[in-house]
Chains A and B, each alone.
Chain A
């Protein structure tokens, strides 16, 4: 292996799309700028033109999205559709030459060699012995993502020459705090007057320096054997694994999150956030919030908005190990509900429906796993303006909307049904309006959410002063 150029470290994750296709998601070290990632493969046949590729074995991505490791992928028989449509004389096999030298902990990766050769009947027989292969069930493997220009953008109104859409601009306008950023080592890494579109490039630089610092530190950690850095690198691995598990599951119903580049951006944001704030690490739910921001802005702005939410909007406490403020928020919701809707509150109490049951998910994702995508930005705008009182007002508005059905229930399982239905809306409603104009169910959900959000704005105007009273 000596003397060879160091292999490109690419991990492959295959994201399963609705159209029964797989696209390849190369996940690189976050330091690699997106533009430097070589498009892995143009399509299934270009894949063959690589003589050899080196892959990092990655156990990170499991979960609901099907992941196939490269070697596994190559073991698979050719999909039927592929054979019938194109030349049947091309197939690939693989030889795992260096499998002996591959040991856990060492930085050599199994080398996979691809050789073109003819298809034989044998190829169809590889697979679990006792299970006859049903070629119809095999997924077609397509490597679609080219990582050129990202089609990843929201359908919101755009402002010429800006790096975010109209809605995100409004978020930024709401930020007035002066932000002095320190990394977890106490070093000042950037001083900024609010997130400012004019200073966009400067901020981008700081963001990239954070990305870069992650790389430098990881190098020193492996060589020095210092226990502090040892712990850190251990934590780093677990954070990485968890993020990789979650990003393919973030807004997976939205087309704009179907692109590898979008997921890669999300990965970089979440990972930089960990580098920026080691103590916090990564908590599920952060992916949803960061994803919601990323829908509307450029990567580095999304990162700073996310950090601002964490630091200046008391969102950080929600995501800590002990979820400190979760209890607090639940108590607030219960008290406010008692104040604004006493009948409903009593009925829920009687049925033992506690706020921590239904509101945990809401708090831990800032509603980003409940409110359908087309409405998320308007909620976030209000959150950036009014902080948590905006959050509470939406909670109340949702419960008030559900009041007629909640009043009918007389045990917990009935409530579960109502709660589940509410959560399903996000999966149904896509961003692209064309897709739902003729679907009655989706239209109903849209009207419902429009009403909920409107009511939350109009019906609870005095909520912040009420909140102060309740806290005393």
Chain B
């Protein structure tokens, strides 16, 4: 128990994006190194863990896989809050999922209500790069969108071919850790008291969300 307290860093990674863009497949590829053809739509949210060592630190990434249908965005309050970083996934062969990036980013900021709206670490992931038939969303366009939306980073992946999946998540986790350094300086102290980041996140969420939370709970 003792070693857990001080060495491990817990990060909450939230993956969002349109339905069927491959969020679950990406996560599955990353956490269990397999690609699943048969899958069910994510209902509500699902969770996975992955322990990685980044810059000499052991990080336990809690990856929250969310439902992609637009109307599930209203559940965001429960799932997005307390996130350390967020990956927005789109399907490169489905232009409408690219056009919806705006909606997703805004929904995340609205419902997740992170402290730093402008600088919150997002990573834009263009998935299904294996379906290349010349009509995919172009890297230039995606880069352009990212530049217009606060210089976000962009990466192209394929969960099926296992292209850049590991890289994408590593980037995402690194971003989350950077944010933690900047914002949550007292983390080690607090962690040794309470033994988890979750409480911390809760504090953050409470500050921002106190009123709406109360409303919901009655």
Contacts and interface: CB of A to CB of B under 8 A. Distances in A.
Q: Which of B19, B60, B74, B216 has the most CB of A within 10 A?
A: B19
A365 interface: yes
A49 B96 CA distance: 36
Interface string A353-375: 01011001111110001000000
Interface string B63-74: 000011101101
A419 B49 CA distance: 11
A360 B75 contact: yes
A321 B41 CA distance: 18
A423 B45 CA distance: 12
Contacts of A281: 71
Interface in B35-74: 36-49, 60, 62, 67-69, 71-72, 74
Given A352-B196, A360-B78, A416 B49 contact: yes
A63 B69 CA distance: 12
A413 B62 contact: yes
A63 B38 contact: no
Contact of A413 (B36, B60, B68, B133): B60
B46 A361 contact: yes
Nearest to A69: B133
A284 interface: yes
Q: Which of B38, B46, B94, B132 has the most CB of A within 10 A?
A: B38
A72 B45 contact: no
Contacts of A63: 19-20, 22, 39, 41
Contacts of B75: 323, 326, 356, 360
B71 A321 contact: yes
A419 B65 CA distance: 13
Interface string A259-286: 0000000000000000000000101110
Contacts of A427: 38
Given A64-B22, A321-B74, A360 B45 contact: yes
A250 interface: yes
Interface string B87-112: 00001011010000000000000000
A20 to B, nearest CB: 9
Interface residues of B, number: 47
A360 B67 CA distance: 11
Interface string A410-422: 1111001101100
B43 A416 contact: no
Contacts of B21: 62
Interface stretch (A82-90, A219-227, A241-249): A241-249
Contact of B43 (A253, A365, A410, A419): A365
A252 B67 contact: no
A16 B37 contact: yes
Contact of A128 (B47, B96, B132): B132
A164 interface: no
A288 interface: yes
A292 B49 CA distance: 30
A432 to B, nearest CB: 16
B91 A423 contact: no
B133 A72 contact: yes
Contacts of B25: 64
Given A63-B20, A64-B36, A321-B71, A410 B41 contact: no
Contact of A65 (B37, B48, B202): B37
Contacts of A169: none
A115 interface: no
B144 interface: no
Contacts of B199: 352
Interface in A288-303: 288
Nearest to B38: A252
B162 interface: no
Nearest to B61: A413
B40 A369 contact: yes
Nearest to B95: A59
Given A364-B43, A365-B43, A284 B37 contact: no
A339 interface: no
A419 B63 CA distance: 13
B185 interface: no
Contacts of B37: 16, 18, 64-66
B43 A284 contact: yes
B41 to A, nearest CB: 5
A369 B202 CA distance: 29
A136 to B, nearest CB: 15
A62 B43 contact: no
A63 B42 CA distance: 11
Q: Which of A249, A253, A351, A354 has the most CB of B within 10 A?
A: A249
B39 A322 contact: no
Contacts of A351: 196, 198
B182 interface: no
A287 interface: yes
A361 B67 CA distance: 10
A62 B93 contact: yes
Given A356-B78, A360-B45, A242 B69 contact: yes
Contact of B45 (A245, A246, A352, A357): A357
B164 interface: no
A427 B37 CA distance: 12
B169 interface: no
A406 interface: no
Given A64-B37, A419-B47, 11 more contacts: A62-B94, A283-B69, A284-B68, A288-B40, A288-B43, A323-B75, A356-B75, A369-B43, A410-B1, A413-B49, A416-B62
7 contacts: A62-B21, A327-B216, A331-B217, A352-B199, A361-B44, A411-B195, A411-B196
- 3 tightest A-B contacts by CB? A360-B44, A63-B20, A361-B44
